[in-house]
Amino acid sequence: MKAIPYKIYLSENEMPRYWYNMKAVMKELPDPILNPATMKPCTQEELNQLFCTELVKQEFNTTDEYIEIPKGILDFYKMYRPSPLVRAYCLEKELDTPAEIYYKFEGSNTSGSHKLNSAAAQVYYAKEQGITSLTTETGAGQWGTALSMACAYYNIDLTVYMVKISAEQKPYRKAVMETYGAKVIPSPSNTTEAGRKILAENPNTSGSLGCAISEAIEVAMKTKNCRYVLGSVLDHVLLHQSIIGQETKIACEKYDIRPDIIIGCVGGGSNFGGLIAPFIGEKIQGKSNVRIIGVEPASCPSLTRGKYAYDFGDTGRTTPLLKMYTLGSGFIPSPNHAGGLRYHGMSPIISKLYHDGYIEACAVEQTKVFEAATLFARREGILPAPESAHAIKVAIDEALKCKETGEKKTIIFGLTGTGYFDLAAYISYNEGTMTDYIPTDEDLEKGFATIPKV
């Protein structure tokens, strides 16, 4: 066996040329997307009004296990990929564990996270289709930043509706997007009917992701050659994110690394779905026994405490209905610093895999997450995003179990991004003022009451 370096970088000619489509091997498919007006499955034609045609085609593709990545996207990927698969030698030593720990690090690009993998693809297909402008929403700002970078590269106009409170609290996130040429509008705004309506009802609102989605969709529907793009949850987003898993798998095969456990954080599910994609393929096909664990915040526990039901994707109840684990679109997550994991629902593919027993889930509290994040930063030198640190926490727990049992397991986790824009959270942890929030059963019932009857 070759000696394993600290950081495994694939060379350009080792880079994957295909995304991995989990649906092609799933024994049962996720339930179809429904049109809430008719309660019938959405057709591709219906979705083409809102999304780029090729992305809708990918959303409906249940047959091709491997989907070729166009050269125009591979060229973009070359700018910031491959991402390294890192052997956490220093963390292992600190934990004094027989386990071998690896992490796939997606934070080495200016957007600071994995989001760029799908942004690149979505903007490329828009350009190919002759689309001249795109709209989206952003909360914490990682998706908006990634999309701004991709739109600058492919020369497409972008309007980002940014939740007003985020735009005010994170002026630097806004500044990055503007440096990349995006138009950033705090939401609600008076640029849309949806925004004006909300402002008339509540002039002092600090905005919400639901409202920002409604505004972005409205503009996309009303503007010529314009489409709306989404950064997580949907099948085609997971498809693009499978570049993470594809690279990881090639690196594992090159160095004969055989993972026993794969761990990722889950919010909408896109990084997790991307990391596990080719591994779940092998598991479904009976070729591997790998344990796969999704980690969510205890404050927003859609997999571990949610219901598997049809629900809206947004709090504004304007999107098609998705069958997924959900806390209800009206669920209000208590404050948690991992903004990217504060989502009431979950990718339909991840939901189905979880429902069918292929993956496990667990929920962790944020003070424990920051404890793990700080240890990781000091040992491995990377300041992790709070979202990513959920996976770190569980990887450490599993490694410590190995220490007790003496088992030499191989653990891989996804390190989705960096925490440069999350330092207010670190300050709160360092000062000892961070607290944990776990919704009561009553809190959950209020959310469940907003799930539509189908």
Tell me the one-letter amino acid at 299.
S
Closest distance between a copy of itself and the C-beta of residue 230, in Å?
22
The answer to whether residue 119 forms part of the interface with a copy of itself (CB under 8 A) is no
21 and 67 Cβ atoms separated by less than 8 Å: yes
The closest of 136, 48, 142, 129 to 421, measured between CA atoms, is 142
Distance of CA 213 to the CA centre of its chain: 17
Q: Which H helix or E strand runs over 26? A: none
The answer to whether residue 354 forms part of the interface with a copy of itself (CB under 8 A) is no
Residue with smaller CB distance to a copy of itself, 291 or 368: 368
Residue with smaller CB distance to a copy of itself, 47 or 85: 85
28 and 103 Cβ atoms separated by less than 8 Å: no
DSSP 195-248: HHHHHHH-TT----HHHHHHHHHHHHHHSTTEEE--SSSSHHHHHHHHHHHHHH
Closest distance between a copy of itself and the C-beta of residue 111, in Å?
8
The pair of three-digit structure tokens given for residue 65, joined into one six-digit string: 């296990």
Closest distance between a copy of itself and the C-beta of residue 211, in Å?
25
Residue range at the interface with a copy of itself (CB under 8 A); choices 16-24, 146-154, 199-207, 340-348: 146-154
The answer to whether residue 356 forms part of the interface with a copy of itself (CB under 8 A) is no
Residue with smaller CB distance to a copy of itself, 6 or 438: 6
Q: Which residue has the tokens 């498919």?
A: 29
The answer to whether residue 376 forms part of the interface with a copy of itself (CB under 8 A) is no
The SS3 assignment for 273 reads helix
The pair of three-digit structure tokens given for residue 451, joined into one six-digit string: 């799930």
The answer to whether residue 418 forms part of the interface with a copy of itself (CB under 8 A) is yes
Of 71, 420, 435, 438, the one binding a copy of itself by CB under 8 A: 420
The answer to whether residue 284 forms part of the interface with a copy of itself (CB under 8 A) is no
Of 17, 43, 172, 400, the one binding a copy of itself by CB under 8 A: 172
Of 125, 143, 331, 421, the one binding a copy of itself by CB under 8 A: 421
Residue range at the interface with a copy of itself (CB under 8 A); choices 216-224, 239-247, 374-382, 396-404: 374-382
300 and 449 Cβ atoms separated by less than 8 Å: no
Map the footprint of a copy of itself across residues 19-58, applying CB under 8 A: none
* Interaction pattern, residues 95-114, with a copy of itself; x per rule: CB under 8 A: -------------xxx-x--
Neighbour-count burial for 274-301, b at 16+ CB within 10 Å, e otherwise:
bbbbbbbbebbeeeeebebbbbbbbbbb
Q: Please tell me the count of residues contacting a copy of itself according to CB under 8 A.
A: 41
Tell me the one-letter amino acid at 242.
S
Residue 320, CB-side half-sphere exposure with 13 Å CA sphere: 23
Of 11, 38, 289, 440, the one binding a copy of itself by CB under 8 A: 11
The answer to whether residue 427 forms part of the interface with a copy of itself (CB under 8 A) is yes
- Work out whether the CA dihedral 188, 38, 354, 286 comes out positive or negative: negative
Which residue(s) pair with 263 in the sheet? Answer: 293, 413
Residue range at the interface with a copy of itself (CB under 8 A); choices 5-13, 284-292, 332-340, 395-403: 5-13
Cβ within 8 Å of residue 154, ≥6 positions away: 123, 124, 126, 127
The answer to whether residue 79 forms part of the interface with a copy of itself (CB under 8 A) is yes
Closest distance between a copy of itself and the C-beta of residue 48, in Å?
30
Q: Which residues bind a copy of itself (CB under 8 A)?
A: 5-7, 9, 11-12, 78-80, 90, 108-110, 112, 149, 152-153, 171-172, 175-176, 178-181, 374, 377-383, 418, 420-421, 423-424, 426-427, 430
